Amino acid sequence: MALFLTIFIGNLSWDAEREDLVHLFSQYGEVSKCSLPLDRETGRKRGFAFVDLANAADEKSAIDDLQDVEWMGRGITVRQAEPRR
């Protein structure tokens, strides 16, 4: 059984949409899941997202390549997500 990582993407542009993230990460492999959480009270984006790729090696490549790059005018943070508490 393969070990899959969830990728955390922080410091996102407020203009970033789910489709933009899928497009960015699909360059590394098949995107199996993508979520862009919204604030419960305001319904606005919270400035971060989570992406899962279908292959763990692709996820590592994406994290290595995209860490601290500028995307949509913001320096994004890309790392392995920490498990929910």
Residue 2 lies in a domain: no
- Of residues 56, 61, 49, 46, the one with CA closest to residue 22: 49
pLDDT averaged over every residue in the chain: 92
Contact yes or no for 22/33 (Cβ under 8 A): no
User: How many domains are contained in the chain?
Assistant: 1
Residue 42, token pair as written in the block: 């305001």
The DSSP secondary-structure symbol of 54 reads S
Does some domain include residue 85? no
State the CATH number of the domain containing residue 36.
3.30.70.330
Range of the domain at 12: 7-80
State percent of the chain over pLDDT 90: 85
Model confidence at 3, in pLDDT bands (50, 70, 90)? low
At position 18, the amino acid (one-letter code) is R
Q: Which amino acid is at 81?
A: A
Residue 50 forms part of a structural domain: yes
Answer yes or no: is 30 within a domain.
yes
pLDDT for 36-75, tens place per residue? 999 999 999 999 999 999 888 999 999 999 998 999 999 9
Quick check: is 1 in a domain? no
